[in-house]
Amino acid sequence: MKPLSIPIQGRLGRFLRGTEGTFSILTAILSVVIIGFTGLVVDLGSIVYWQRRLQAATDSAALAATFDLTRSDSIASNALQANGPSAAVVTQTSVGTYVDNPQSTTAGRFVAGPADNAVSLTTEYVMPVYFMRMFTGSTTFPVRATATAYNLPLAGTAIGTAVAGSDVDEFNSFMKSQSGDTYNLTEAERDALNRTPIPIFRLLDKLASSAGSVDDPIATVLASSVDLATLAESAASALSESAPSPTVTQATAISALTHVAQDAANSSSVTVQDFLSLSAHQHRAAKDLVSGSTDSLGVPALTILIGYLQMSRQNTIVNESQSFTVPGLATIAVESVLSKSALVPGPGAIGMVGPKGSSAYSSQGRVRLTITLLQPIQVNLGLVHLSLPVSIPVVADFGYGKSTISSITCGTDVRATTDVAVSAQSGAVHLYVGSVTNNQLTDLLTPLVPNPAQIVNLPLVKVNAQGEADIAQSPLETLHFNWNDIVNGTEKSTDGTPSTSTALNDLANDTVVTVGQAPVGTGTLIGNLVRPQLSAVLNALEPELESLLASFGLKAGTMDVRATAIRCGLPALVM
């Protein structure tokens, strides 16, 4: 064979060394890869689209299923078909209980079990894929979604509402002594505040806004502090927004709240959850729950103010700004110590909105009355004449009462079917004639053990007195409130035994009067003169004591309970 000619070898070399057409070759090779990745991106985009659509449909299905947990499977399936891919299916349905506790993990708040208030769904849509099959070997890809929703019937309750029946001057005195400012509310304003609920979600939204944190969850707002001016202003604003054309009563309440906001210059800050409780939706921002449909969930403005005032100087002795009288017999100076009970687990408020199982608590407190007879007792023994001023300390020690929503019932006809059942029990009350120190008065965790009180203290005459009587806490009682009760603000009571008048009579009868020092031969006479005066004052004390305590929001041996609101359901996604 002849060797290649030089011209042929040159052309072959040039071919092997040449770069012409390289781009075309690379393009041909890479186009396959580019087309493959483009197809993969299309499939992945399709997966993301169907995942979002399936999740939205699953959320809607879970919300729909909460309206009737006994048919949750069929309701969820129908809702999924109506809103999601036609081939999507519900693969798992679990009913159970959701507890809206911010202290628990999100997953731990739902517990599967008997149908109570929540449903959890898992759904799936098997979608077709085209280019991914080159990697997975399958022509389909499963897209899954989960959702948990609950639907809580909510009710509002208020306790310690006795202030609505108090003397308005005594109420104003209580407000001044607790806050340091003068308000002079009229009886019409006080009554309007009592009859006007403040929408709780709007109020919490206003409080969040005043702190510059409208996106904070409700739990954070409840744990924050507020002064009286901000509270009253926020309540007035919330009420104005919910009632753009207010009734006469609402307009009066708005005016009264504005009045309080303007005059509250010296008030302290109080943690919101110490006087107002919301036992649901705490993980959500209040602004997301503000609507005309939720405005029915409210707490009376007066309950909110009283709760704030009770907590504004808790564990501190407060002297009332005015003296009171037992007509024709005596004047009364009043000192009080109010607090939430240390025995209450967590926040304890007198006004609250929540589901079944939510509780409200009355304040624990002690009130010391120093009763001074208008006329000294006169002792005449011939040449001996004595004028004996008498000052009697009476201490009332109040345990806290409790009310718990035991059930909320309402059907499609809310007016005809509403029933809010509240289990309630008043606190025990101990009444003493005796002397207690300020430290004893403010130490609410330690039972009182009064010493004998020196009710006459003169160089020549000293008389001591000591007595005790009790009003037992009421038995646990279930009170029922229908639609008319809620609309009309009907109050129902639990009563301990004996009554206040009987307890005061028992205190008068059981108080031992001892003459410790007196001129020779006058001890028995002085004792016989003092005892009937003391009994007369204690027996006449009942109406004044009840009105005075009512101005604090307290009653002796009795607790008033009021259902303030109901909403048959407020569905919400939680997971």
Q: Which of 95, 114, 146 is the last residue of a domain?
A: 146
Per-residue pLDDT band at 3 (split at 50, 70, 90): low
Nearest in space to 554 (alpha carbons), one of 392, 371, 397, 358: 397
Compute the distance between CA of residue 432 and CA of residue 90 in angstroms, rounded to an integer: 67
pLDDT digits (tens, 9 = 90+) for 324-357: 888 899 999 999 998 887 666 666 788 999 988 8
Domain end position, chosen among 79, 113, 146: 146
Q: Which residue has the higher pLDDT, 8 or 219?
A: 219
Domain boundary residue among 146, 174, 190? 146
Check: CB of residue 399 under 8 Å from CB of residue 444: no
For residue 431, the Cα-to-chain-centroid distance in whole angstroms is 30
Q: Please, which pLDDT band fits residue 503 given cuts at 50, 70 and 90?
A: very high
Contacts for 281 with CB less than 8 Å, ≥ 6 apart: 100, 218, 289, 570, 572
Q: In this prediction, what percent of the chain has a pLDDT beyond 90?
A: 47
Domain count, the chain: 2
Residue 1 has pLDDT above 60, yes or no: no
Residue 110: which domain range? 21-146
d(CA 24, CA 22): 5
Confirm whether 168 is domain-assigned. Answer: no
Residue 5 confidence (pLDDT): 53
Report the distance separating Cα 371 and Cα 504, nearest Å. 14
Whole-number pLDDT of residue 297: 92
Would 223 be classed as within a structural domain?
no
Question: Does residue 346 form part of some domain?
Answer: yes
CB 194 within 8 A of CB 302: yes
Instruction: Please give the distance of CA 107 from its chain centroid, rounded to a whole number.
Output: 24
Chain segment 72-92, per-residue pLDDT in tens: 899 989 998 888 888 899 999
The length of the chain, given as a count of residues: 575
Instruction: Give yes or no for a contact between 228 and 301, defined as CB atoms under 8 angstroms apart.
Output: no
Does residue 71 fall inside a structural domain?
A: yes
**Which of 185-199, 311-325, 345-359 shows the highest mean pLDDT?**
185-199
Alpha-carbon Rg for the chain, nearest whole angstrom, is: 37
Structure token digits, residue 322? 């005015």
Residue 109 has what DSSP assignment? G
Average pLDDT for 377-391: 86
What are φ and ψ of residue 19, in 5° steps?
Answer: -115, 5
pLDDT over 70 (residue 6): no
The residue with greater pLDDT, 63 or 188, is 188
The position carrying tokens 């109506």 is: 82
Query: CA-CA distance, 299 to 384, in Å (whole number)?
Result: 63
pLDDT band (50, 70, 90) for residue 550: confident
Tokens 């009592």, residue?
Answer: 194
The pLDDT, as a whole number, for residue 39 is 62
- The residues, ordered by sequence, that sit 6+ positions from 472 with a Cβ below 8 Å of its Cβ are 428, 496, 497, 557
Mean pLDDT calculated for residue range 527-539: 93
* Segment (H or E) for 253: helix 248-263
C-alpha to C-alpha distance for 163 and 185, rounded to whole angstroms: 13
CB 300 within 8 A of CB 374: no
Residue 267 lies in a domain: no
Give the CA distances from residue 77 to residues 51, 54, 58, 307, in Å, rounded to whole numbers and listed in that order. 17, 12, 9, 47
* Three-state DSSP class for residue 91: strand
DSSP assignment of 363-405? PEEEEEEEEEESSPEEEEETTEEEEE--EEEEEEEEPPPEEEE
Q: Is residue 330 one of the residues assigned to a domain?
A: yes
The answer to whether position 200 is within a domain reads no
Asked whether residue 235 is assigned to any structural domain, the reply reads no
229: enclosing H helix or E strand: helix 228-242
